[in-house]
Copies of this chain bind each other. A is one copy, B any other.
Amino acid sequence: MKHPPIHYSDYLGLEKLLSAQNPRSAQYGKLVHDEMLFITVHQAYELWFKQILFELDSVIKVFSEPSVDDREIALAVSHLQRIVEIQKLIIGQIDILETMTPMDFLEFRDFLFPASGFQSHQWRLLETKLGLKLQHRQHFNDEAFFKVLKPEHQQQIQQAMQSPSLFDLVEAWLERTPFLKMAGFDFWQTYKNAVLEYLQVEQSFVEKNSRLSPTEKEKTLQQLQMGRDTFQKFFEKKEYEAMQAQGQFRISAAALHAALFIQIYRSEPALQLPFQLISRLLDIDEKMTEWRYRHALMVQRMLGKKIGTGGSSGYDYLKSATEKHKVFSDLFSLSTFLIPRSRIPELPEEVRKKMHYQYGS
């Protein structure tokens, strides 16, 4: 009541919004019924992309502070969770688009040339802000992807590429995790010992196990040795840096250690929200991947082996990008380095207490 009254229609800008559906088929010939669906689905995507970017920006802002306020973490998690919910929804939009048949698509496809999803700057912005670097992108017609974008959008992407991405900020935040070296406790050394002991016990067990045939025994020991090798590379600084140099890992060793620490001791109060945060990042990355894959399948169904409107060999590009554009794959790999809960070293009381609330003490 302190503000001028407003009508629903004006509040939502419906005049603008509902006048933005302009089928080219109607403009250059006769309206093709299904072009309207094609437009609506893509507009709905772009609306939701804007919302995802909005949530993402707020999370980026939280992590841009040199020291992240504990009171902001729950907020960041809830915004990431919202992104996941939106992603689930828009993946479902593909089912709707597929009620359009290839025959129907063909009827207006020519009018679209050379418009193409490759020109969606919001999608590119999203990938960039999450942390996809130029050098990790799938090449497409030997041109940088942003050449097909409008100049004002190129600028937006450029700016995003020059600013810290969510990946960068989360990496830095993880590196600052205070509990890994504290009061004489050294998580990384302790964990290494626990792993080696665990592998040793497993090996003795296999060697003494009379239930296994010699072939089985050999095979199992080989697998154990492979496991040991994997851990070895992970534990030795030089080996890890070598893997980073080869592009097998992108995240810093310190951040990876912290992520593992959070995963393992996630029930301690101060780690509960950080654990949720990492889980939501994995969810978002997985849903991005799922979206790309479903999109690729749909393109194949609509076009068969034809060339996409953007001039790409559509399906092939989309398929390669599906995996390659994952941002947090290092966090997916964390599982490789887990050992059973019973083997996990207990935290010293002094460290554990630091992660609890003041009120109980």
Chain A interface residues toward B at CB < 8 A: 1-3, 5-14, 16-22, 24, 28, 33, 36-37, 39-40, 42-44, 46-48, 50-51, 54, 58, 70-75, 78-79, 81-82, 85-86, 88-89, 92-93, 95-96, 98-99, 101-103, 106-107, 110-122, 150, 153, 178-179, 205-206, 209, 211-212, 220, 223, 226-227, 230, 263-264, 266-270, 272-273, 275-276, 279, 282-283, 286, 289-290, 293-294, 297, 300-307, 332-341, 353-361
CB distance from A52 to the nearest CB of B (A): 10
Assembly CA distance A75 to B354 (angstroms):
20
Could you jot down 6 A-B contacts, CB within 8 Å?
Answer: A12-B39, A40-B48, A101-B279, A102-B338, A354-B359, A357-B357
Assembly CA distance A290 to B37 (angstroms):
23
A356's partner among B5, B70, B273 (CB-CB below 8 A) is B70
Assembly CA distance A264 to B102 (angstroms):
10
A54's partner among B36, B122, B267, B293 (CB-CB below 8 A) is B36
CB distance from A207 to the nearest CB of B (A): 12
Least CB separation from A289: chain B residue: B297
Chain B residues in 8 Å Cβ range of A305: 230, 333, 336
Establish whether residues A304 and B290, one from each chain, have CB atoms under 8 Å apart when the complex forms. Answer: no
Kindly list 13 other residue pairs between chains A and B, CB separation below 8 angstroms, not including A1-B113, A2-B110, A293-B293. A2-B28, A33-B58, A73-B272, A74-B276, A82-B99, A92-B92, A102-B335, A103-B264, A106-B335, A106-B339, A272-B272, A305-B336, A356-B358
**Number of identical protomers:** 4
Establish whether residues A301 and B119, one from each chain, have CB atoms under 8 Å apart when the complex forms. Answer: no
Least CB separation from A100: chain B residue: B82
Establish whether residues B44 and A47, one from each chain, have CB atoms under 8 Å apart when the complex forms. Answer: yes
A358's partner among B279, B294, B335, B358 (CB-CB below 8 A) is B358
Establish whether residues A12 and B112, one from each chain, have CB atoms under 8 Å apart when the complex forms. Answer: no
Assembly CA distance A353 to B99 (angstroms):
28
Chain B residues in 8 Å Cβ range of A276: 74
A12's partner among B42, B48, B150, B273 (CB-CB below 8 A) is B42
Chain B residues in 8 Å Cβ range of A178: 359
Chain B residues in 8 Å Cβ range of A211: 1
CB distance from A276 to the nearest CB of B (A): 8
Establish whether residues A8 and B340, one from each chain, have CB atoms under 8 Å apart when the complex forms. Answer: no
Least CB separation from A25: chain B residue: B3
Chain B residues in 8 Å Cβ range of A263: 101-103
Establish whether residues B43 and A332, one from each chain, have CB atoms under 8 Å apart when the complex forms. Answer: no
Assembly CA distance A333 to B212 (angstroms):
49
Establish whether residues A43 and B20, one from each chain, have CB atoms under 8 Å apart when the complex forms. Answer: no
Assembly CA distance A275 to B77 (angstroms):
13
Least CB separation from A361: chain B residue: B358
